[in-house]
Amino acid sequence: MILYPKLYCDKVTDITVEYLLDNGIKAMILDVDNTLIDFDKNMIEGLEDWIKKIKEANIIPIIVSNTNKLEKVKTVANILEIDYIYFAIKPLKRGFKKARKALGNIEPEHIAVVGDQIFTDVIGANRCKMFPILVKPVGEKDHWMTRFKRPLEEKVIKKYLKKNEG
């Protein structure tokens, strides 16, 4: 289903290199807001070490964010020493296609998309035939538009979890 991820976990750093390699992942598209940083722009604990492990496994990370705040995305990307695309307009395909091109046109099924929102990250990944991974938001605070969608996402997540239990 277009609304369902392949994996759902608490935070991005819970995604293991082994899991990614076992699923043929060669690159990762990472969301920023409430995935890598909280509303107050604090990076999640252990993120820099996790990115280092990802890179050591020859998995190429890139940030793809819907925000139009260049400096915020650029700051996180510079700290992590990875490329970025901002104002991606997910779930539209444009940002995902730009990322794929920046990644050297790796086949879509070998690109994981990691984010905290079903209606942007998961749907966009599925539309582009990529590997969606949903993480719980790292903070309570959200952009007003995201806050509006969270109750709907919670219903989808409950159905997803029920379908995948046992």
Cα distance between residue 7 and residue 131, in whole Å:
9
Q: Kindly list the strands in the beta sheet with 83-85, ordered across the sheet, starting from the edge strand earlier in the chain.
A: 7-9, 131-135, 111-115, 27-30, 60-64, 83-85
Nearest to 10 by CA among 150, 125, 139, 109: 139
Provide block-wise average pLDDT over 10 residues at a time, the chain (166 residues).
Answer: 93 98 98 93 96 98 96 97 96 96 97 95 97 90 63 81 77
- Say whether 56 sits in a helix, a strand or coil: helix
Cα distance between residue 113 and residue 127, in whole Å:
11
- What's the token pair of residue 16? 């293991």
Cα distance between residue 118 and residue 42, in whole Å:
22
Instruction: Output the pTM of the full model.
Output: 0.91
In the prediction, which pLDDT does 144 show? Answer: 54
In the prediction, which pLDDT does 146 show? Answer: 61
Under 8 Å CB-to-CB from 3, ≥6 apart: which residues?
118, 122, 123, 126, 156, 160
In the prediction, which pLDDT does 62 show? Answer: 98
In the prediction, which pLDDT does 156 show? Answer: 80
Q: Which domains does the chain have, with CATH numbers?
A: 7-164 (3.40.50.1000)
